[in-house]
Structure 1
Amino acid sequence: MARVRNWYNQSKTATLIWFISLITFYAVFRMASTFSPPSTDLPVSNAERLRLYDKMTRDLDEHGALFLKKGETSQSMKLSDLFDVHNGSVTPVLKAANPPVRANVLYMNTEYSHPISKAVRDIFSPSLEKVIWFQNSELYHFSMFHASHHILPVPASEEEIEAEANAVKAVVDKLCPMTIVLDRVVLTSTGVLLGCWQVISGTDPVTIRSKLRNALPRAPGKQLYEPAILHTSLARILGHPNNSSEVSILFLVFYVEEPSIASELQYFHELVAHLNNRIRGTKATISELWYVEEYDVLALALDGKTKIRRFQFGCLKV
């Protein structure tokens, strides 16, 4: 009888240990599922980004400098709709967005944006200061997904907007910080100077956009950007370089030929090359997404009126 009692006690102890181990394993598994990075295929997305950036790099040569001919912007608007160039200064033309645009953007901290902005100004200001608009370095961002944009507006009540913001926050809570590197700077045919980035680690933009699409079912089916792209506006050029002495100095630095035979288009290429030599390879960490109501058209780009909700990425692993 004592032997049976000992066997029972040992069996009971073993069962309890096994049960506790099972519970512990399950808890650890749940924690790992919650905080591990979403499954992405970075090599595939990075290859797609390279394809897009190569295409963007060719754009200026293939289409010419449309911004010198008062051409359209990348969002089917005239430059004159966005900027007023008068008496040697550039001022934005703010127009009310009705309904307000609702954008989801990744925010770049000023730790990274300020040095980039300084480099852009150092290189482009001497010859273009009267015909260039510099992006506010406090608002450097990467557009991800629009719940409503000016091409396909989706009106929403205050309650619907709050519901959208809460849905976005739920997505951001599961995103992991992104380590990114500046692949290159390009100047488009519409005059936009863009920083084009690659992802080293963290949640890929393709995944972020997909999750936001699922969270915002009322959003326009046609979005403004390719799913893989990760770029931020640095400046917009609106006119010809001036004829100051600074321009002549830059020409002499960049060319063996006389300044008089150097084309204006090539001059822009050289400015971009000079900027790339200075900041290409810059790394940054992105860990904040903004849900932004833009009450003016392109308010984030033009320092217009906005309402911003800031959400920190919830996943701690990079």
Structure 2
Amino acid sequence: MSTATPAGPATPADPDPASPPSPWTRKHLLGLEELSREEITAVLDTAESFSEVSNRSRKKVPALQGRIVFNLFFENSTRTRTSFSLAAKRLSADVQDFTASVSSISKGETFIDTARNIEAMGCDVMVVRHPTPGAPHLLSQHVQSSIINAGDGAHEHPTQGLLDLMTIRRAKGKIEGLTVALVGDIAHSRVARSNIWGLLKLGARVILCGPPTLVPRSLERLGCEVAHRLDDVLHRCDVINVLRIQFERQQRALFPSVAEYSHFYMMTQERVRKAKDDLLILAPGPINRGVELTPEVADGKHSAILDQVHNGLAVRMAVLYLLGGKAPEAE
């Protein structure tokens, strides 16, 4: 991959006055369900520009200089929190991390009051992860800052869905017409829901695969195919996105054992050999080697797991820029 210089192609930080206006006019990013095909494409196209910034010798641009971004995380996170922090810093924003366990919430302060106090400090964008579905939506109704949903319970994780879409588009050159299988714990996965909405709106065929207890037939109403045997659909897939078993969200055992689950659904070298030659394998992480996929597959030529991490930084730069770098009309 060639290294671009600051004199190279224009980025959103160096706008081209001849460029057509962006279809993005939203104040918040709460989920992919509410976005149009054009809005999703606008984020992906903007992310491509910011991907070039990461290859420069000087990796910072002044797009959000003077803006303040708060990371409000009420659940543990490594990749998402770090990625948002680094993305904001590369856009020259001031970044402040918030940890619920050492905040006034532990003393009885409400979620909304905490956010309002943070906003009073001059916050422009709040990146919110919360175990309760709909928490970022609620917050967007009570503060003036832009809200980015970084994962709300089992509802949605829009930036993960966007970075998965970017990874597929970069590897395959398109999304429309592809067959993408989401394999694993679909019932409890916010990543699965964001992927479903994004893939369907961009014209992909989506297969949801896993045990009946984790992939109920009722999910067909979303416009997806449901399958309970990976080997039956493997040969049709252009992309397989391997999802983690969400043990922390399950109230009871939903399959006999991890060993049995791995026997039927783990991506192994044998299954890769039975699939298309150009199969693309994704995994949002954290990955459980030996459960959802073998180490050989995770590190093999079909895997784009590290590409997802790289693209995640570009996607989050794009989202922060679109929400905080301009003054978009309120929804």
State the TM-score, normalized to the length of structure 2: 0.25
Q: Identify, as 1 or 2, the structure richer in strand.
A: 1
Q: Which has the larger radius of gyration?
A: 1
State the TM-score, normalized to the length of structure 1: 0.26
Q: Identify, as 1 or 2, the structure richer in helix.
A: 1
